[in-house]
Chain A
């Protein structure tokens, strides 16, 4: 099952980053829905592993995507879906997954979008940005895309290992928030031509001994991210991007509140 989990993990990422590489279109929306469904599959399989008394990890092979045309992407996704589909065991969960993926395959076979892709081209240009703003933006995107992915995996792992409903709901909120940030940052990265699947997250990051310390460090990281967003918002000479980073900066405030609530929930359990 662990091997299957790793393949599903990779599949989720390839579909998600594949969707992000497309221009606004019906196909992009549909692939993003499929990626979200794949994430739920992944979580359900991980939950089954935990229920069986075993543990799981987020290890996987590194993934390098480089498609110059939408057709190449769709073919690669079809190949992955067909390969993984032959390896599912029987049972309610895998029947559901199998039926979901049959529909995904059918949809991909009927996708009509036929466009050149620039998301992996490393063109490094963005309308209205000077060199300094561009450097700041590339650095921010590179670090934050990894960080949001790391947070999604860490919160998911924590959620699947807590028996506190209150903590579980806070982790769920934080996962939604990170999913939105990941999508937003990847959309900008694709415009710059630097879209890339982040590196593997090391086990030591999410298999921590001390959740309290993780949350305290997390609050410090959110404060740092807020500062980066504020700095970007004022440095970038492009109104749309500037307003976007101001908006993300204000979102970080509530992340901090959620993490403080998680800390309170932990303290309440200890008293």
Chain B
């Protein structure tokens, strides 16, 4: 996290964009890291016709790197198609699966939350209502014996 003194980076930490709860959402997903207790929740408002992410809100109890990852992700995918977010997160998982860099878990927990929100969106389309959680597995393996939701 050497760029912590960079003014843009600092601003993202001190005033993260799109941060907060969304009362009326089309999808909500949790990303969790069982080893550190870090958690990210992402809320999406999705245009039913175009499948564009009209609005995105998110919250975390995580560290500065998680916060910056969430801020950048929300800025990038607000207004873009749901599919582009899915493609991005899948590319992230592919990139970190064999050789996760330091701090990768912080990015992965954000990506996991987004994927959980996508699953929630799909489940709601089929009339199912339940909480969706995805766990960090690639950059911070889940302890043995723990089941993933």
Tell me, in angstroms, the Cα distance from A4 to B46 when the chains sit together.
Answer: 32
Q: List 5 A-B contacts (CB under 8 A).
A: A139-B4, A202-B60, A203-B21, A205-B39, A217-B37
**Contact B5 A202, beta carbon cutoff 8 Å:** no
B41, CB-defined interface residue at 8 Å: yes
B92, CB-defined interface residue at 8 Å: no
B141, CB-defined interface residue at 8 Å: no
Q: Total A-B pairs in contact (CB under 8 Å)?
A: 57
**Contact A202 B61, beta carbon cutoff 8 Å:** yes
**Contact B13 A202, beta carbon cutoff 8 Å:** no
Which among A14-22, A29-37, A156-164, A193-201 touches the partner chain? A193-201
- Considering only residues 124-149 of chain B, those with a C-beta below 8 Å from chain A are none
If A64-B15, A139-B1 touch, whether A200 touches B59 (CB-CB below 8 Å) is: yes
Tell me, in angstroms, the Cα distance from A150 to B64 when the chains sit together.
Answer: 15
**Contact A204 B5, beta carbon cutoff 8 Å:** no
B102, CB-defined interface residue at 8 Å: no
Least CB distance from A29 to B in Å reads 26
**Contact A62 B20, beta carbon cutoff 8 Å:** yes
Contacts of A200 in B (CB 8 A): 19-21, 59
B16, CB-defined interface residue at 8 Å: yes
B123, CB-defined interface residue at 8 Å: no
Tell me, in angstroms, the Cα distance from A203 to B60 when the chains sit together.
Answer: 10
Contacts of B61 in A (CB 8 A): 150, 201-202, 204-205
**Contact B5 A134, beta carbon cutoff 8 Å:** yes
B86, CB-defined interface residue at 8 Å: no
Interface bits A125-146 vs B (CB < 8 Å: 1, else 0): 0000001001100110011000
**Contact A138 B4, beta carbon cutoff 8 Å:** yes
Contacts of B30 in A (CB 8 A): 204
Q: How many residues of B contact A (CB 8 A)?
A: 23
**Contact B4 A196, beta carbon cutoff 8 Å:** no
A59, CB-defined interface residue at 8 Å: yes
**Contact B19 A62, beta carbon cutoff 8 Å:** yes
Q: How many residues of A contact B (CB 8 A)?
A: 25
B7, CB-defined interface residue at 8 Å: yes
**Contact B21 A142, beta carbon cutoff 8 Å:** no
Least CB distance from B86 to A in Å reads 24
Give the residue name and chain of the A residue nearest to B63 (CB).
A143
Known interface pairs A64-B15, A205-B61, A217-B37; 4 further A-B residue pairs with C-beta atoms within 8 A, sorted by A's residue number: A62-B15, A62-B19, A124-B10, A196-B14
**Contact B4 A135, beta carbon cutoff 8 Å:** yes
Contacts of B5 in A (CB 8 A): 124, 131, 134-135, 138
Give the residue name and chain of the B residue nearest to A131 (CB).
B5
Contacts of B14 in A (CB 8 A): 142, 194, 196
Contacts of A201 in B (CB 8 A): 61
**Contact B7 A122, beta carbon cutoff 8 Å:** yes
A221, CB-defined interface residue at 8 Å: yes
Identify B59's interface contact among A124, A143, A194, A202, CB under 8 A: A202
B2, CB-defined interface residue at 8 Å: yes
- Considering only residues 157-199 of chain A, those with a C-beta below 8 Å from chain B are 194, 196, 199
Give the residue name and chain of the B residue nearest to A199 (CB).
B19
Give the residue name and chain of the A residue nearest to B10 (CB).
A122
Tell me, in angstroms, the Cα distance from A30 to B21 when the chains sit together.
Answer: 34
Contacts of B64 in A (CB 8 A): 139, 142-143
Please name the 6 residue pairs, one residue from A and one from B, whose CB atoms are nearest each other, closest first. Answer: A202-B59, A196-B14, A217-B37, A205-B61, A139-B4, A135-B4
Give the residue name and chain of the A residue nearest to B1 (CB).
A139
Give the residue name and chain of the B residue nearest to A136 (CB).
B4
Contacts of B20 in A (CB 8 A): 62, 200
Tell me, in angstroms, the Cα distance from A104 to B21 when the chains sit together.
Answer: 32
Tell me, in angstroms, the Cα distance from A218 to B82 when the chains sit together.
Answer: 36
- Considering only residues 22-64 of chain A, those with a C-beta below 8 Å from chain B are 59, 62, 64
Contacts of B63 in A (CB 8 A): 143
Give the residue name and chain of the A residue nearest to B30 (CB).
A204
